[in-house]
Structure 1
Amino acid sequence: MKTTVPRTGTRRRQRGIATLEFALILLFGLLPLLLVMYSGVMIMAVQQTLSAASAEGARAAFRHATPTERRTAACLAARRSMQWLLTYAKQTPSCTTPGAAPINVSAPAPCADLPSAQCISVQVSYDYRTHPFLPGTGRVYGWVMRTPLRSTAVSQLDLGGN
């Protein structure tokens, strides 16, 4: 009578191949997907921060008296709201000249829809291509985001009795 020997060695080698395939799929499939999702979430956080910063700047411009005070207050409020972005990008915008990027505060001018009133526009921006959160994603997202991320808010000024 002939006895058969179980082939446990072949099964054990197949188990090793499955582990190797899982590791490769994780490394080349799942990890890049998670990194792209992370950078996408961070881009959304940047856009939300920019929206809040421009709105805070517009609110601050509403509260002060002279045009220079209004522009400086708007710039300072926007800078406070987006401080984490400025720190990450190693930018220190000066609010003594509030017309330069990444925080641009316009001089009081007639409003677009109501020329008899004065408005101040606060525009903030962040260039993701220059300062990506994950190295290399600036180029990956470059074909989608050709210009810096921006947000603009406009405040109609209370001129006190005019």
Structure 2
Amino acid sequence: MNVRFPARSARPSRQRGVVTLEFAFMLMLGVLPLLFLTYTGVMMMAVQQTLATASAEGARASLRFGTAQQRRVGACQAAQRSMQWLLAYAGQTPDCSNGGSAPILVSQPTPCVGMADAHCIQVSVSYDYGAHPFLPGTGRLYGWAMDRPIRSIAVAQLDLGSN
């Protein structure tokens, strides 16, 4: 007995695995780049938030009483504590003994802008994403948008009457 199958029944067997290939291509070309961009965006926001907190903590620490040099050192140390995870990742150890070194810079007390009789200290912190990207290759990829380090600055008005 000779049994013949219709020509249509042969088609589904040729289609086996096509859905798997389509899913793999969709994953590689659609979902993974989306996850990649989301991850780097979240990490950049975390860096910016960390820098904003570090500069604010440094400025707040400069308000403690002491000499101008003690205030600068205290501000640098407070900023360093607040951004410790970034410094560890980048392998940087700023020297706070003289008021800071890159990536934490604390200015000398200077007259505040618009108020010549008051003095202010400026705390500036930064992170160079191009030199220390979280995902390899993204420093160059985002170089067009981030040609400078990510930075945050905070200013504190000092009460110098208690020196």
134-143 vs 95-104, which deviates more? 95-104
Partner in structure 1 of residue 46 of structure 2: 45
Partner in structure 1 of residue 133 of structure 2: 132
Partner in structure 2 of residue 96 of structure 1: 97
TM-score by length of 2: 0.92
After superposition, the C-alpha distances for 1:88-144 in whole angstroms (9 at most, x for unaligned) are 001011101324210000000000121110100000000000000000111111100
Q: Distance in 2 between matches of 1:23 and 1:45?
A: 31
For 1:62-101, what aligned pairs fall within 5 Å after superposition?
A: 62-101=63-102
After superposition, the C-alpha distances for 1:55-101 in whole angstroms (9 at most, x for unaligned) are 00000001131001000000000000000000000101110132421
- Unaligned 5+ segments in structure 1 are none
- Unaligned 5+ segments in structure 2 are none
Partner in structure 2 of residue 143 of structure 1: 144
Q: Distance in 1 between matches of 2:15 and 2:144?
A: 43
Asked if 1 retains the 8 angstrom alpha-carbon contact of 2:129 and 2:150, the reply is yes
TM-score by length of 1: 0.93
For 1:144-159, what aligned pairs fall within 5 Å after superposition?
A: 144-159=145-160
Q: Distance in 2 between matches of 1:119 and 1:15?
A: 72
Asked if 2 retains the 8 angstrom alpha-carbon contact of 1:72 and 1:98, the reply is yes
Asked if 2 retains the 8 angstrom alpha-carbon contact of 1:64 and 1:73, the reply is no
Q: Distance in 1 between matches of 2:5 and 2:148?
A: 68
* 1:104 alignment partner, SS class: strand
Partner in structure 2 of residue 33 of structure 1: 34
Deviation of 1:4 after TM superposition, in Å, equals 5.7
Identity level (%) = 61
RMSD between superposed Cα atoms in Å? 1.8
Asked if 2 retains the 8 angstrom alpha-carbon contact of 1:58 and 1:154, the reply is yes
Q: Distance in 2 between matches of 1:87 and 1:15?
A: 51
Q: Distance in 1 between matches of 2:162 and 2:107?
A: 22
- Residues 161 and 86 of structure 1: CA distance in aligned 2, closer, same or farther (over 3 Å): closer
Asked if 2 retains the 8 angstrom alpha-carbon contact of 1:104 and 1:123, the reply is yes
Partner in structure 1 of residue 12 of structure 2: 11
Q: Distance in 1 between matches of 2:64 and 2:10?
A: 80
Partner in structure 1 of residue 21 of structure 2: 20
Asked if 2 retains the 8 angstrom alpha-carbon contact of 1:72 and 1:95, the reply is yes
How many residues are paired up? 161
Deviation of 1:17 after TM superposition, in Å, equals 1.2
